[in-house]
Amino acid sequence: MKRDEEKVLVQQFLDALRAGADFRDRKVRRLRAAIRAGAFENQLKIEIATDRLAADLTDELKDKVNQ
């Protein structure tokens, strides 16, 4: 995106915020629709989540052992 295009986009966002627009509402609607359609979860997200969970559990176990 070119700098002038970015400035226009930023100005549009600022104008919308000043007018009271809630961008979170739009995002929540998109996410809910994706979840309903079954398009939100995918194998990569699940693998990342399970890897993070395993790492957290391992760290907690190490902390308990070291106490």
**pLDDT tens-digit profile, the chain (67 residues):** 678 888 898 999 888 888 887 778 888 899 899 989 988 888 888 899 999 999 999 999 988 888 8
Instruction: Give the predicted TM-score (pTM) of the model.
Output: 0.44
Residue that has been written with the tokens 């295009």 in this structure: 5
User: Are the C-beta atoms of residues 31 and 40 closer than 8 Å to each other?
Assistant: yes
Domain boundaries, the chain: 3-66
